Amino acid sequence: MDVYKRSFRYDTSKREEEMDVRKGPWTEEEDSVLKAYVNIHGEGRWNSVARYSGLRRSGKSCRLRWLNYMRPEIKRGNISLEEQLLILELHSRWGNRWSKIAQHLPGRTDNEIKNYWRTRVQKQARQLKCDVNSKQFKDAMRYVWIPRLIERIRASSQSTSGPPSTITSITIESGSVQVDPSLLPELSRTSSGSQVSSVTGLTDCYNPQSVSNYQNNTRNGSGFENAAAETWGRDDVWLVGGGESSMETVWNEENIWFLQQQLHDEF
DNA sequence: AACAGTCTCAACCGCGTATCC
DNA sequence: TGGATACGCGGTTGAGACTGT
């Protein structure tokens, strides 16, 4: 990569040109300089950080490095099932508002969530040969992926007594998953004002009968949806193996092939 | 072991908005 | 009020890691 390539933007880039700003991966030394500076002066005023810390980096670069990598509360490691569930739900509500979504996942950055979406979710859409924004894919998420995630969250919370989730909107207690209704209004519509809605009810929303009801209530069910309703209600169809990630479990090859058939019968 | 293809994620870019003077 | 500057967001890129042949 050309780490010294120049930008011709007017504002900060103009200054960057003048001061020979460094680009590319950060070194440990740069990290410690940034950390020391932020510890003393606090976050914000990133151009000042760049100017006075001695780093030959742009303010933007300093900000990004701090927010996405160096903040002490940054959480590392795989996105948990609860986090996946929340990302799917919040994305269905807000779309690509990554920073807004990230606000509800403590320790996760917008960049991380964006990467997760692009690498995992969009990949599934590609495999299904449909657009990630298409109704078909959204239905697949809503009626297959999300219910399976909920099922797995419940199963894992029953089988382990590990530390509670750090996600404030979803908590797991004695085998049931509690979801903050303010974040999932669509799913909590039936909870009549209680502070949390149990996913026992949420799962019910996704059983085959409910899917069928949904179809009747919206439009005459298509072949895709009818077949999906019949298939997605059956756990054994989607559970292959045991230890893999929830996505691989749900989107095994056989089922992707099946969904592809159903999706393209529609066209 | 070597190579090719794929995946992951840190970092960059451009643009829109907020703030300052 | 308007221009300059700073900040934040979403989209994109590409190097390195990983996986399959």
Cα distance between residue A255 and residue A263, in whole Å: 12
Q: Using 50, 70 and 90 to split pLDDT, how confident is the model at A160? A: low
Q: Using 50, 70 and 90 to split pLDDT, how confident is the model at A200? A: very low
Closest CA to A61 of A30, A91, A100: A30
**What is the predicted pLDDT for the residue at A146?**
82
**What is the predicted pLDDT for the residue at A170?**
52
**Is the C-beta atom of A135 closer than 7 angstroms to strand C?**
no
SS3 A78: coil
Please give the residue that has the higher pLDDT: either A137 or A214. A137
Q: What average pLDDT is seen over chain A?
A: 63
Q: CATH homologous superfamily of domain A12-70?
A: Homeodomain-like (1.10.10.60)
Domain boundaries, chain A: 12-70, 128-265
Q: What's the pLDDT tens digit per position in A48-71? A: 888 888 888 888 899 889 988 888
**Is the C-beta atom of A15 closer than 7 angstroms to strand C?**
yes
Cα distance between residue A214 and residue A209, in whole Å: 8
SS3 A201: helix
Closest CA to A90 of A6, A178, A5, A170: A170
Cα distance between residue A66 and residue A256, in whole Å: 39
Rounded to whole angstroms, the distance from the CA of residue A120 to the C1' of nucleotide B10 is 17
CA atoms within 13 A on the CB side of A241: 11
**Cβ-7 Å neighbors of strand B:** A 3, 5, 7-9, 13, 22-26, 57-58, 60-61, 64-65, 68-69, 111-112, 114-116, 118-120, 123
Length of chain A: 267
Rounded to whole angstroms, the distance from the CA of residue A128 to the C1' of nucleotide C21 is 25
Q: What's the pLDDT tens digit per position in A100-133? A: 888 888 889 989 998 888 888 887 777 777 777 7
Q: What's the pLDDT tens digit per position in A82-97? A: 888 888 888 888 888 8
**What is the predicted pLDDT for the residue at A260?**
53
Strand C: which nucleotides have any atom within 7 A of a protein Cβ? 4-15
**Is the C-beta atom of A71 closer than 7 angstroms to strand C?**
no
**Is the C-beta atom of A127 closer than 7 angstroms to strand C?**
no
Cα distance between residue A252 and residue A10, in whole Å: 50
Residue A161 has pLDDT above 50, yes or no: yes
Residue A196 has pLDDT above 50, yes or no: no
Rounded to whole angstroms, the distance from the CA of residue A238 to the C1' of nucleotide C12 is 34
Q: What's the pLDDT tens digit per position in A222-262? A: 333 333 333 233 222 232 223 333 444 444 444 545 555 55
Strand B: which nucleotides have any atom within 7 A of a protein Cβ? 7-15
Rounded to whole angstroms, the distance from the CA of residue A120 to the C1' of nucleotide B1 is 31
